[in-house]
Amino acid sequence: MAKGLAALGIETRADLIEHLPHTHRDRRETRKLATLGVGEEATVAVTIRSVTVKPMRDRRRKRVEAKVYDETGPASAVWFNQPWLARQLAEGTQVLLHGKLRRRNELWVTEHELVTQGDAPVHTLGLVPVHPATAGISPATLRSLVWEDRGCFRHAVEPLPAALRVAEALPDRPAALAGVHFPDTEEEGAAARRRLAFEELFLLQLAVAGRRRSRREARRAAPLRPTGALVDRWRESLPFELTGDQRAACRDIDADLAAERPMQRLLMGEVGSGKTIVALSAMLRAVENGRQAALMAPTETLAEQHLLTLDRLLGGVAPVELLTGSTGAARRRDLLGRLASGELALVVGTHALIEETVEFRDLALGVVDEQHRFGVRQRAALDSKAREGLVPHTLHMTATPIPRTLALTAYGDLDATVLRELPAGRRPVETHVVDGTRARARAYERIREEIAKGRQCFVVCPLVEESEALQAKAATVEAERLARTEFREQRVALIHGQLPLAAKQEAMRDFAAGAADVLVATSVVEVGIDVPNATVMLIEAAERYGLSQLHQLRGRVGRGGHSSLCILFGDPKLPRLKAIATERDGFRLAEIDLELRGAGEVLGTRQSGLPEFRAARLPEDQGLLATARARADELLDGDPGLEASEHSLLRETIVARFGSDLDPIPA
């Protein structure tokens, strides 16, 4: 049991009473045996008369049959393939059974609990809590443990000020814990959960608001003001017009950069909305002011793709280099020397950028791509690369639209810029989820039809247990098969994350130039690939990918003026595949993803510094989240450091809960 409790993070009585149930089962009414009709599901309180274990037809399985009775008469209770139960069900044992009456006087049991003496204890009747369990410890055992320790509820520390509890009509914490575990009514349980959910969201909002105020008021960045020497000329040289959203984003970012208050902005947008252009404009603003800018990506593959994209967009305006863990020793020494001297103004890299040996002469802007995949300390390490006494301006980019609920939690300390407008000429991509041999044959035929029109196609091989090496092998095998069979008359190329950088660059250049008809790839093509002539995206084993990944992959086609198609091989009934087939709006898909997977899965709570919620449920509690945000701002307006005596427990709770992951509120 101790091992099971430890796996659930329960080591103390405080941990136990904070282990909240995820649902309740209604056991408020027990039925009498004689009142049950065939097909009815019910709970009955009975006494054991006798127990037998009988073999079933296949002889390998056992049927446990107990003769039971209450004051209205006898019945048989049946369990399947649980012969060990016979040792528990001694004659005279009182037991609570839940199940369905399958035929007259025969109850097939789905749940049971022993009642050792007298009436059933409170924790087996009423609204019965079901706690998250694990191997070695059942929900029933957890319920009994919490019931035995319910006296601890009254010792729970109350962090919320009384005035706030009155204003929001919240019960105190001891009452909320009692109500969330063992409510008398659904209304009491809902009110208790609401109170604890509000507390979680309110504490988080205070923490991120404190971090936001600390960054804005206690730190200073080098102002990067427009000089007209570089950025304007570069924007004018681009072979396309910026969208209205891109121009507005550039204006907001330019205004942030011109101030001494460090910029902390989140740039998110629809697939293909041009976030990289906006980020590069900001990076060139640093160069224009004689300073440096760095773009940090979570993986080498993504960093390499950013390098290719930036190099293409720069058009020779300024050099940009790549620094990752795979950079050779001689190359690395050269790059480090040029960064330290200031000769190299633009660099793209991975975590390698924040190693102690990396020094910048004057880092003024950091662009962090896919922020949620970096730990809080890793992002803070980038801040330390600026000149002494300064921090860099920071632009956080994400290729995945963030639902408003998550923007207020994980990104609550950032100003947000949203790109919804797509460049001219982008067309919606027709999407189909298919399975079966006939569908596969038609998919390959459709690709050949597109190639006959002069178009090109992607074939993305399945994610294999999150392993780049295994995925690369799968892609290699599939490329060889397709070149030998379905596309033996077409030109098939291959790209995956295990190829050397030069080989990847060559493969992408060849495909972009039209030297290959079909590009078999892994998910390395998820972002940063722009081939307007590509019109078909075929994704194998689509169920292995998340919604945001599928939307990103789909966004690799439809970038020119041609009608485009995305074919997903997978189960058409799977909720996320149904969603990707019917919904094209990335922001709506992000909301659906949140509903399907929950906040922790979507964000990666441990990596983001965001705690796992015990009571709060997003997006269900988005209204409560907005209220918590407003109350946090209101409280900090009057007491920025939470120094008032009535806020001392509140401050202690925030520092204890978030101090190791989020900056504590400044005193």
Token pair belonging to 615: 């009571």
Residue 393 CA to residue 365 CA, distance in Å, equals 5
pLDDT of 430 over the 80 cut: yes
Q: Has residue 301 got a pLDDT over 80?
A: no
What are the residues facing 323 on neighbouring strands?
349
pLDDT at 298 over 80: yes
Q: What is the mean pLDDT of residues 505-534?
A: 86
Predicted local confidence at residue 10, as pLDDT: 94
User: What integer pLDDT is reported at residue 609 of this predicted model?
Assistant: 46
Mean pLDDT of 21-50: 90
Q: If pLDDT is split at 50, 70 and 90, which confidence band does 346 have?
A: very high
pLDDT at 123 over 70: no
Residue 619: cis peptide before it, omega within 30 degrees of 0: yes
Q: pLDDT over 90 for what percent of the chain?
A: 49
Burial 187-224 (b: 16+ CB within 10 A, else e): ebbebbbbbbbbbbbbbbbbbbbbbbbbbeeebebbeb
The share of the chain scoring above pLDDT 70, in percent, equals 90
Q: Give the pLDDT band of residue 375 (cuts 50, 70, 90).
A: low
pLDDT at 552 (0 to 100): 87
DSSP 344: -
492 pLDDT more than 90: yes
Which is more confident, 22 or 402?
A: 22
- What is the pTM assigned to this prediction? 0.68
pLDDT at 59 over 80: no
CA angle 259, 260, 262 (to 5 degrees): 95
Nearest to 13 by CA among 177, 175, 161: 177
Residue 619: partners with Cβ closer than 8 Å, 6 or more residues away: 403, 405, 591, 594, 595
Please write the tens of the pLDDT for every residue from 71-92: 999 999 999 988 888 888 889 8
State how far the Cα of 384 lies from the Cα of 389, in Å rounded to an integer. 10
Q: What is the mean pLDDT of residues 232-260?
A: 93
Q: How confident is the model at residue 296 (pLDDT cuts 50, 70, 90)?
A: very high
Q: Which is more confident, 424 or 90?
A: 90
49: enclosing H helix or E strand:
strand 41-55
**pLDDT tens digits, 88-118:** 888 988 888 989 998 888 999 988 877 754 4
**Position 666 pLDDT exceeds 60:** no
32: pLDDT confidence band, cut at 50, 70 and 90? very high
With contact defined as beta carbons under 8 Å apart, do 630 and 412 qualify?
no
Query: In terms of DSSP H, where are the helices of 462-584?
Result: 468-484, 501-512, 547-554, 575-582
Q: Any idea which of 111-115, 194-198, 567-571 has the lowest mean pLDDT?
A: 111-115
Let me know: does 556 contact 531? Beta carbons within 8 Å.
Answer: yes
Interval 610-639 mean pLDDT: 84
> Is 346 within 8 Å of 321 (Cβ atoms)?
yes
DSSP state of 31: B
Specify the pLDDT at position 218: 67
Query: Is the per-residue pLDDT at 655 higher than 80?
Result: yes
> CA-to-CA distance for 483 and 383, rounded, in angstroms?
49
> Is residue 637 predicted with pLDDT exceeding 60?
yes
For the chain, give the mean pLDDT: 86
Q: What is the pLDDT of residue 608?
A: 47
More confident position, 45 or 608:
45
Of 183, 184, 177, 120, give the one whose Cα is nearest residue 150. Answer: 177
What distance in Å separates the CA atoms of residue 16 and residue 30, rounded to the nearest whole number?
29
At 379 the pLDDT is 67
The Cα 127–Cα 543 span in angstroms is: 37
